[in-house]
């Protein structure tokens, strides 16, 4: 697949996402970060069968957002996802695992949500997929 399918300005979309995220609540950002990471998760799981650390990080941030997990426990899952990134044999898969790690880390600091989204975009780009479509998808997920 090609990386761009239209004349949409990815930089403009990126700025729009950052501005919208700055106005969003912590819990909203955490769930959005989980969505962003989960959307690209197959780029990891297709190459790393049986490594559940990134998907567990996504589950952890969702559990934190619903009040079922502490920040400290969610951070442990974030660290595990980053370890999966270091051990991955693919740059795209590593970007996915980092997206998942930052999603889980959003429980600790809301600013990690943007990093989760950016690593998801990086994974899409490295996989040769449509980056602008991913930006649009992320933006639609974040808009109220």
| Predicted pLDDT at 9 | 60
pLDDT tens-place string over residues 109-142 = 999 999 999 999 999 999 999 999 999 999 999 9
Instruction: State the chain's mean pLDDT as an integer.
Output: 92
pTM over 0.75: yes
- Is 4 inside any structural domain? no
Name the token pair of 114. 């943007």
- Is 22 inside any structural domain? yes
Name the token pair of 111. 């600013």
Range of the domain at 65: 10-142
Name the token pair of 38. 């989960």
- Is 112 inside any structural domain? yes
| Predicted pLDDT at 15 | 86
Measuring CA to CA, how many Å separate 67 from each of 2, 73, 133, 134?
40, 12, 32, 29
Among 5-9, 72-76, 93-97, which is the least confidently predicted range? 5-9
- Is 27 inside any structural domain? yes
Structure confidence at residue 1 as a pLDDT band (50, 70, 90): very low
The radius of gyration computed from the CA coordinates of the chain, to the nearest angstrom, equals: 14
Helices and strands, counts by H and E, the chain: 8, 0
- Is 18 inside any structural domain? yes
Residue 83 reports pLDDT greater than 80: yes
Residue 8 reports pLDDT greater than 80: no
- Is 1 inside any structural domain? no
What average pLDDT does the segment 28-39 reach?
Answer: 97
- Is 67 inside any structural domain? yes
Report d(CA 71, CA 1) in Å as an integer: 38
> Into how many domains does the chain fold?
1
- Is 2 inside any structural domain? no
* Whether 103 contacts 61, CB under 8 Å: yes
Residue 74 reports pLDDT greater than 70: yes
Report d(CA 88, CA 97) in Å as an integer: 8
């Amino acid at each position: 697949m090609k990386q761009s399918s239209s004349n949409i300005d990815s930089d403009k979309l990126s700025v729009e996402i950052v501005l919208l995220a700055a106005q969003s609540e912590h819990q909203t950002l955490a769930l959005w970060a989980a969505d962003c990471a989960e959307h690209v998760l197959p780029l990891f799981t297709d190459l790393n069968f049986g490594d559940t650390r990134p998907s567990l990080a996504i589950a952890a941030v969702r559990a934190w957002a619903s009040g079922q997990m502490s920040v400290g426990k969610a951070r442990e899952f974030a660290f595990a996802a980053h370890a999966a990134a270091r051990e991955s044999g693919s740059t795209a898969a590593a970007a996915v695992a980092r997206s998942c790690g930052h999603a889980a880390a959003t429980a600790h600091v809301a600013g990690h949500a943007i990093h989760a989204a950016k690593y998801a975009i990086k994974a899409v780009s490295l996989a040769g997929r449509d980056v602008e479509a991913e930006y649009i998808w992320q933006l639609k997920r974040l808009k109220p």
